[in-house]
Chains A and B, each alone.
Chain A
Amino acid sequence: MASSREPVDLDNVPEAEVDTEHKGFPVVWLLPIVALVVGGWLFYKTMSEKGPEITIVFNNAEGIEEGKTKIKFRDVTLGQVDRVDLSDDLKSVVLVATMSPGVKHYLTDASRFWVVKPRVGAGGVSGLGTLLSGAYIAFEPSTEGKSQKKFTGLEKPPVISIDKKGTKYHLKADSLGSMSIGAPVYFRQLDIGEVTGYQLADDYSHVDIGIFVESPYDKYVRTGTRFWNAGGVSLSMTASGVKLEMESLISLLGGGVAFETLPEFTDSPPAPAETMFSLYENRTRSLEQPITRVVTYMLKFTGTVRGLSEGAPVEYRGLRIGTVKAIELGEDPLHQGILVPVVLIDIEPQRTMAYKEVSATSKREVTALEKNPHKRIAELVKKGLRARLQSGNLVTGQLFVDLDYFPDAAPAEVLTAGLYPELPTVPNSLEGILASVNRILDRVEKADLQGTLVNLNQLMVSTNNLVGELEKKTPELASELSTTLKTANSALVKLESAVSPDGAIGSQVQDALREISSAARSIRVMAEYLERHPDSLLKGKGAP
């Protein structure tokens, strides 16, 4: 071989052999295309898998950790809190969370978020699992409403979850009482709903309590249904004994609501959602007849109305027919310028009606009082109907208004001059006695005592004279009296001798008595014989 230093003999260099021609597409250029396709696909996949980013506003971020706190629905993780920021005004915290891509359609303005942490309430303990795992955010998806990305979290878990079917109603109560959110709603002591919330009415006149009645029980809520406060214990003493009413121990602590529909209202249409009902203080109250019509009368009493309170009953012979509406001061009709207590009463004609199964639509029989109360009462007043105050309770001295007939009372009529028609009144029983005594005293006062005394004096004088004359004749009278006594004495002696057993009368009487005694003995013998042998009455006394 030639060394490298020697000149190369180029002619002896062998010639390379020519291949068959093959030229095609340079395969290596597929690489950038593949890279582009794969890269693009990766981006598309990542973008499409990336879930929506949402913000949730809470009052505070207690128990929430960035990048750790999960958002769950039915214990399935659907998202995670990425960041916890403060709002611009520092009044709330803003959680930025990424949700799973599939959840996108369930993020609407009806979706709800709240923090699940251990809670202890009257109804029980919840969220104990979060003691170990840490708090998480519960999410309640909803397909209804507008899609949105900004949410305001609930500070308390919602009482009703979205998948519970049922109806919401409102209750109007004078005061909240022991009601709490989550308190049960009972229907025949079945727990079928919950109190969802409460708020003061806009005009502060009542408390608006929201309740939720689960399906299918919500169909029992009719327009005529009555709700009452089932919280606490109701103890009532009646003539039939002591009655204790209590729904359940839970309602004793946390309050509760119960409802019932009176038989005559079961035909009424089902109440639409959000219907406002009145909340009565107890069952008895709630099931009283609804008073829709009242006729107001005015009563003027001359005496005191101490012990009469608003709401006191108006009774007719022990039957309640109305309620005391107000107690005020007014002018005395008899004495101008004198103020007397004026009592306004509501006569409630519906209380007097008798329920009868008349027809399917109306089960009531309408009484004359209900048809035209004013006319009817005017007639009754002509017959002697009067109002008076009666003591209803001797211990507390509570009064009530009693209506009754007093045929002897002075004739009176319903006065229609004032704002309300005025019923005539009579004083009550104590007042009546006092009035009679007063009358007697008045008469005594008016009587001619002076004349009487003069007459009495004259009488005394003449009696004196009479006695004086008697005194003068005394010796004469005394001697005559002595002889009379002597005569009497001898007569008595004679009588005594006659009556004594040795005397004429005495022996005769003794004989007679002896005869009677033997007769009686014979009768006894005969009676004994007859007792042994009653047949002897017919057969005669047989041979011995």
Chain B
Amino acid sequence: MRARDFGLASCHTCGLVVKLPAVGHVHCPRCASPVHSRKVNSLSTSWALLLAAMIAYVPANLFPVMSVVSFGKRQSDTILSGVIYLFVHGDWPLALIVFVASVLVPLLKMIALTYLLVTVQRKSYLRHQQRTRLYRIVELVGRWSMVDIFVVALLAALVNIGNLATIEPGAGAIAFTTVVVLTMLAAANFDPRLIWDHQGEK
């Protein structure tokens, strides 16, 4: 039994339960905020943000995230080349952390979101609970991918010793930030209630 089944919805702003008319955009009679039974255009918006994130993911991995200029020698590293560099030099725990946080997590997040969106669109009635849990994890983990960006931003600001060493953010960093922000937005725009909307229909 859902609120929707009774033609009811709660106002997101003041919590007033209102009756929804059959058609049209409506607003709360008490606080005049828009009232929807589900997030408006949730699937479409999520899809758009997710696609944009996927597109941005490509340059994020191909372009250098960070350039270290030391004694006139410039070394530019992409995320993966940095991971390889760490791994080759024996810092494999660190390499693993960077790999998981910067490569695996955004990738898995995008896969997870895609999975959620596809299943909702196909009105799947299976594994509602697992899917909901997946969504929670996605939302929770998403922000931790920003660690990389913080590191680059901090280093770029701190390490600026002229010819000795200078660290410059690369185009990859911006793309990567975009990926993280877009996936977070996509996750936020996804309405988990949609997962449960099709449990009864067979």
Contacts and interface: CB of A to CB of B under 8 A. Distances in A.
A263 to B, nearest CB: 59
A35 B55 contact: yes
Interface residues of B, number: 38
Contact of B28 (A16, A21, A28, A35): A16
Contacts of B52: 31-32, 34-35
A35 B9 CA distance: 35
Given A39-B58, A39-B175, A46-B63, A14 B18 contact: yes
Given A15-B19, A16-B29, A39-B58, A28 B45 contact: yes
SS of B interface (majority):
mixed
B44 A29 contact: yes
A68 interface: yes
A67 B73 contact: yes
B110 interface: no
Interface string A22-39: 100010110110111001
A42 B63 contact: yes
Contacts of A13: 8, 17-19
Given A13-B8, A39-B175, A29 B48 contact: yes
Interface residues of A, number: 24
Contacts of B16: 14
B2 interface: no
B34 interface: yes
Contacts of B56: 35, 39
B34 A19 contact: yes
Interface in A1-55: 10, 13-19, 21-22, 26, 28-29, 31-32, 34-36, 39, 42-43, 46
Contacts of A16: 9, 18-21, 26-29, 35
Contacts of B25: 18-19, 21-22
A39 B25 CA distance: 36
A14 B26 contact: no
Contacts of A29: 44, 48
A31 B189 CA distance: 14
Contacts of A31: 48-49, 51-52, 182
Contacts of B142: none
A34 B56 CA distance: 10
Interface of B: 6, 8-9, 16-21, 24-30, 34-35, 41, 44-45, 48-49, 51-53, 55-56, 58-59, 62-63, 73, 75, 171, 175, 178, 182
Interface of A: 10, 13-19, 21-22, 26, 28-29, 31-32, 34-36, 39, 42-43, 46, 67-68
Given A16-B26, A29-B44, A67-B75, 20 more contacts: A10-B6, A13-B19, A14-B16, A16-B18, A17-B27, A18-B21, A19-B24, A21-B24, A21-B25, A26-B48, A28-B41, A28-B45, A31-B51, A32-B48, A32-B51, A35-B56, A39-B175, A42-B59, A42-B175, A68-B73
